[in-house]
Structure 1
């Protein structure tokens, strides 16, 4: 009896099997916002070949370009708040951002070379073409997240960096650094935001005020079409490269940021908070972003936009609806399953297992042994 008492493990009731942790619930608001923002991105790209024939369409294009990427970047920054240099997060950055950049930059360059019959187009991972700049920017922004979380005044510092970038045409096209630096404040703003900040714009009062704000923005956009260079909204050139005096660069950074944040707040105010039919598509917006460019560029290369009827009001509406439909389909689960090997590769073979991961595996093995005892 003494021996049995000295071996309490034989009398202990077996522990229940360990349950895997419950994954966190996705917020429908953010998935809805990402989906609607990516639809606006696709529509804006489809308007580019048509906007020269319509001042109204060009005004809408200007307004959309003032806030659609800032809204998307703010959300990207918000969901990067937990990023640190932990090995598993660095692996996710490489497999989810760097690898897709290499693949899609190569694919887009080859598509431009052979689809547009442009023998001068070569594959250069240092000079992003068309949509792929965002992956370079996201990689740099996220990699520098620990820095922005360390400094005392991250947002003013990021704004200062963006303002200084507009003064230097010598930054050049390598890695599209002008865009990386000029869009940086929106990412840092997302890092600084908390859930209650989004709640502030999700009120009935802000929703009602946003209607005259958008109407006013369209009127200003219509007025500005012949008076303003729309390239300012792309944030890819210095002031000198746009033929403007050097001091106008920092001024335009502040002015455009004010306009962008106002319109972004109005956009967020109208994003549904409940689960919608398109909410699940919010998880696949990067797929829609990277893939829809092939459709838009194919239409451009092969003259699909050359039909005269597309350059009238009905044709513009038709192109807008097609663009929204295409990017919606590209965000769906079947498309994501097909392209997951490129967009979210596992690549366990390429990385060493860190000590924390090995310890977690040992704990799981011990729990299984205890459960089976």
Structure 2
């Protein structure tokens, strides 16, 4: 189940990946202030209409290079190690340095942003399980699962159970996405229309959408947790899918096709994703947000998030943090071979 990535497609999606990690960093940085400043609230809601769906979509696209076989097993093992390492690190620092209370610490409850690692393993395994089906059937099934999971009477955050199924359609679509067909379809005129639609959506949210329930955008809660026990609650998720697909498609217009420094930064977004949480937590416990009351200060906060994202994507950070962020898994495979050799 190995597919190849067109060079131009790889460039475009690396550009997109870094732009998305900027929105992730910005969204997390401004979250403590969204109920104090309407502008930040609108920006936060707008970002959440597309950034995680697109991030999952990009992850699915890059999974073409190795979903199964040895490459797929190595990826799953590495994701598992990353989860164990960072779940331990974040929990340890919360208890000893940041002194954060009222957080349920368990390997079965992913710590904040680490839900993505738990769900990534699920997306890969579920896509592998559907590999004999046609791409269209896979998308339809994943959409149905994304809706049906909301009806289960459970805690959606447990092992990121809810988000795994809610975002599965975006992973499946990304995996089967044809960049060549996309280039032919996404003409300059259509890109201009899409960019205008993306900007218009932000304006609509700023003017009339600030009451949008944030819980629906997170994808981490079941319908019962969201306060909807109606039999037709699944229709709300279908409507949300429509909004997310439209917003994500429109946002693609902002992404450059050509190779640049942005492309190189896009190769190291994993470091930004896994490490920026420490910075956000430090900013919160330091009392920084108590000094931000003016839009100018909020703009400085956003600028700081952008600069720190660029800093975390530098080669020196990768060199220093690689053993933790990209832990080697060859020793696990070696132990596995040795174990099989002894039992055979």
Relative to the length of structure 2, the TM-score reads: 0.89
Unaligned runs of 5+ in 2: 338-344
Change beyond 3 A, Cα 1:188–1:215: same
CA distance in 2, matches of 1:242, 1:36: 30
Question: What does the per-residue CA deviation read over 1:282-321, in whole Å, with 9 as the maximum and x for residues that have no partner?
Answer: 11011101111110111112211110xx221101110000
SS in structure 2 at match of 1:274: coil
| Aligned twin of 1:157 | 141
Q: Please state how far the C-alpha of 1:223 moved relative to its aligned partner.
A: 4.1
CA distance in 2, matches of 1:248, 1:330: 44
C-alpha RMSD of matched pairs (Å)? 2.3
CA distance in 2, matches of 1:239, 1:204: 40
User: Which one has a bigger Cα radius of gyration?
Assistant: 1
CA distance in 2, matches of 1:326, 1:44: 14
Kept in 2, the 8 Å contact 1:287–1:343? The answer is: yes
Change beyond 3 A, Cα 1:159–1:347: closer
Question: What does the per-residue CA deviation read over 1:49-83, in whole Å, with 9 as the maximum and x for residues that have no partner?
Answer: 11111112211110111101111110111121343
1:276 to 257, 260, 274: 260
CA distance in 2, matches of 1:168, 1:354: 37
| 1:58 equivalent in alignment to 2:24 | no
| Aligned twin of 2:300 | 318
CA distance in 2, matches of 1:227, 1:56: 13
Question: What does the per-residue CA deviation read over 1:72-118, in whole Å, with 9 as the maximum and x for residues that have no partner?
Answer: 110111121343441343023212x1111111111111222233424
Q: Please state how far the C-alpha of 1:327 moved relative to its aligned partner.
A: 1.1
| 1:329 equivalent in alignment to 2:311 | yes
Greater shift, 82-91 or 203-212, is seen at: 82-91
| 1:67 equivalent in alignment to 2:50 | yes
| Aligned twin of 1:343 | 325
| 1:352 equivalent in alignment to 2:334 | yes
CA distance in 2, matches of 1:74, 1:64: 15
| 1:237 equivalent in alignment to 2:221 | yes
CA distance in 2, matches of 1:88, 1:59: 41
| 1:289 equivalent in alignment to 2:265 | no
CA distance in 1, matches of 2:214, 2:131: 33
| Aligned twin of 1:301 | 285
Correspondence list, 1:65-214, <5 A: 65-95=48-78, 97-118=79-100, 121=103, 123-152=105-134, 153-200=137-184, 202-214=186-198
| 1:39 equivalent in alignment to 2:38 | no
Greater shift, 105-114 or 341-350, is seen at: 341-350
Change beyond 3 A, Cα 1:115–1:251: farther
| 1:264 equivalent in alignment to 2:239 | no
| 1:218 equivalent in alignment to 2:205 | no
Q: Please state how far the C-alpha of 1:24 moved relative to its aligned partner.
A: 8.6
Unaligned runs of 5+ in 1: 1-22, 356-373
Kept in 2, the 8 Å contact 1:202–1:270? The answer is: no
Kept in 2, the 8 Å contact 1:113–1:120? The answer is: no
Greater shift, 341-350 or 38-47, is seen at: 341-350
Q: Please state how far the C-alpha of 1:242 moved relative to its aligned partner.
A: 1.3
Question: What does the per-residue CA deviation read over 1:38-58, in whole Å, with 9 as the maximum and x for residues that have no partner?
Answer: 001100111101111111221
Change beyond 3 A, Cα 1:200–1:266: farther
SS in structure 1 at match of 2:310: helix
Q: How many residues align?
A: 330
CA distance in 2, matches of 1:60, 1:315: 15
Change beyond 3 A, Cα 1:320–1:248: farther
CA distance in 1, matches of 2:92, 2:183: 44
Greater shift, 144-153 or 175-184, is seen at: 144-153
CA distance in 1, matches of 2:69, 2:102: 41
| Aligned twin of 1:358 | none
